[in-house]
Structure 1
Amino acid sequence: MIPLLFENLSIENQPVSMPLPNGITLTIKREDKNHRFVSGNKLRKLKYNIAQALTEGKDTILTFGGAYSNHIAATAAAGQAMGLKTIGVIRGDELATKIDVNPTLKFAKMCGMDFLFVSRSDYRYKHTPEFLEDLQKRYGSSVYIAPEGGTNTLAVKGCEEILTPNDAVFDVICTAVGTGGTISGLINASAPHQTVIGFPALKGEFLNKVINNYTNKTNWHLVHDYHFGGYAKVNEDLVTFLNVFNKNTHIPLDPIYVGKMIFAIFALANKGYFEPNTKILAIHTGGLQGIEGFNKERIKKHKSILDYEEKI
């Protein structure tokens, strides 16, 4: 049974007005608009996981994330929409006293999510059988456990539905990469003539192994040069670019995932990375809920913020 929340999605492909060299064109698939709160790739990843939870008779979704996790916010909203209880296992026990000043956790709490805050050292073991068994004992058999970032076989299946037959006109498919589920689905759904390029938001070569667990195709590669120093790290050049991009296109981009990818596409195009007249489709995977928290942290440090015309 597929919940109605995840059906009948009509996603816009929006051409980007900012010019690229050598006849290259960029179009953005606005997955960020597929739902107000369960947006982008999170909706795709949750679709078959929630369907599976309902099939198994579960009444609670438990998952994992950090202070500004898109996955935590989306799971909480989806649970509320579906009448399911939700539990977030949150990295950082110091956050237990900061729920009401953290926009992501405050939103998740408003959606009915309960929290289990764990230390950063303990959180590293979240994927181990012992950790998961302890959670199952604590919360009971009615709990369905979804991994951090939502990536598993069911999530990849949902992400395969991002591309449609109409997208076969594009030569290159680009996506930001976090846990590897979205790009795996895109690779599986891509046409033989297409190349899929992923832009990891964090350091490390481990993603190649993860992706190879979900696909047998070889028409893809990762570009590791645009993580800006690591997960959630940015610099002034990126923030300036995102503000200029929004002013010119009215497309808001998050600074952790999609913004870095779009920055990279422009940088690579100007370096001659793409063949002339390449038609690029970039996937907007959402993440806009995190902008409020990002700006709060920037203001504390007296740094520039994302001053978007299109308010989130």
Structure 2
Amino acid sequence: MEKNQNQKIEMIFPNGIELYIKREDLLHPIISGNKFRKLKYNLEEAKKLGFKKILTFGGAFSNHIVAVAGAAFGFETIGVIRGEELIDKVQENPFLAFAQQNGMKFHFVDRSTYRNKSDKKFIESLHDLYGDFYLVPEGGTNQLAIKGCEEILTSKDKSTFDFICCAMGTGGTISGIINSSNASQEIIGFSSLKGGFLSDVIRNFVQKENWNINCGYHFGGYGKVSDELIRFLNTFYQQTNIPLDPIYTGKMMFGILDLIQKDYFPPNSKILAIHTGGLQGISGMNDLLKKKNKEIIQYND
């Protein structure tokens, strides 16, 4: 399977519906999917402006932290990490351990302080500590990230598919897809978070109205999973040989297949689901599931 290629899901769907998945997870072995897209132009800008340091924000199980650490070659990287419980236990966390091995320095803050990540005074205090740096926001979403995500859809995608489906965390990826989509296409965002506040975020970046957000498949909220979801991920992999992550794409695909069975999509619809990567998170999720004596995600290495 080549990078960015659309793979047909070989299942029998009602009413002549066809489902494809865009394998953005194959773009890069570490910085896959939307993380690759979001960082592309941000790193170019940081280099052009002469910065030597990249600073960003994320949780202890953040794919974004992993991506920045793995992608920012030639830069010193600093990760402001939400929560202080792992200050002395970095090597026990596969995400932080990888980032540290790739040269990232950590600045741990308590959760209350972390909420100030967009506050001017908090950013100034980080400049006092670390000097000049190029700031990449939590999740990587800014105008340059959206520019990168606008490159996800090909011209053929825009003329072939009736529906484009995308998992959502910060709203950046789907904003890029909306901007580059054909106005006759319907873009559906599957939120991994509770609440509908992402609509306001998206409206800051898009002009089109051909999109909606489905909040019915978050499985309890960000980072939450259920036995049903884990079984679905394993069954889907057995049927298709396509690994999905439990935070984003797994929930999206569960939702798409459920909506197909509920006749949400008109007959003969052609649907494209965007695989935004995030597979790095599987090992960390499996560690948590093992501690709870739960079924784990079982993919071949």
Give the structure-2-normalised TM-score: 0.98
After superposition, what is the alpha-carbon deviation per residue over 1:69-121, rounded to whole angstroms, capped at 9, x for unaligned? 01000000001xx2111111000111112210101111111111110011111
1:18 corresponds in structure 2 to 11
Q: Structure 1 residue 184 and structure 2 residue 175: aligned?
A: yes
Cα deviation, 1:150-189, whole Å, max 9, x if unaligned, reads 0001100100000010112011000000000000000000
Secondary structure in 2 aligned to 1:255?
coil
Secondary structure of 2:15's aligned partner = coil
Q: Which residue does 1:90 correspond to in 2?
A: 81
Mapping of residues 147-162 of structure 1, within 5 Å: 147-162=137-152
| 1:63 aligned onto 2:56 | yes
Q: Decide which of 45, 54, 57 is 1:52's aligned counterpart.
A: 45
Alpha-carbon distance, 1:18 to partner: 2.5
- Which residue number corresponds to residue 73 of structure 1? 66
How far did 1:10 drift? Answer: 4.6
Say which SS state the counterpart of residue 295 (structure 1) adopts.
Answer: helix
Amino acid at match of 2:134: Y
What is the one-letter code of the residue matched to 1:150? G
1:261 partner SS: helix
Q: Among residues 252, 256, 267, which one is paired with 1:261 in the alignment? A: 252
Q: Are 1:145 and 2:135 an aligned pair?
A: yes
Q: Does 2:255 match 1:271? A: no
Residues 212-261 of structure 1, C-alpha deviations (whole Å, 9 max, x = no match): 00001000000010001111111111111110000110000000000000
Q: Which residue of 2 aligns with 1:287?
A: 278
Question: Distance in 2 between the 1:304 and 1:271 partners?
Answer: 28
Distance 2:75 2:190 in 1: 33
Question: Does 1:201 find its partner at 2:187?
Answer: no
Code of the residue aligned with 2:269 in structure 1: it is T
Task: Name the residue aligned to 2:243.
Answer: 252
Structure 1 gaps of 5+ residues are 1-8
Alpha-carbon offset, residue 19 of structure 1? 2.6
Could you tell me how far 1:34 is from its partner in structure 2?
Answer: 0.2
Any idea what the Cα deviations from partners look like across 1:4-58, whole Å, max 9, x if unmatched? xxxxx95211111133222111111000000011111001000111111011100
The one-letter code of the counterpart of 2:197 is F
Of 214, 218, 226, 2:205 maps to: 214
Which amino acid in structure 1 is aligned with residue 144 of structure 2?
L
Output the CA distance in 1 between the equivalents of 2:212 and 2:196.
12
What is the SS of the residue equivalent to 1:37? coil
The equivalent residue for 1:5 is none
Q: What residue number does 1:41 align with?
A: 34
Query: Structure 1 CA distance, aligned partners of 2:171 and 2:12?
Result: 30
Alignment TM-score, normalising by the size of structure 1 = 0.94
User: % of aligned pairs identical?
Assistant: 58
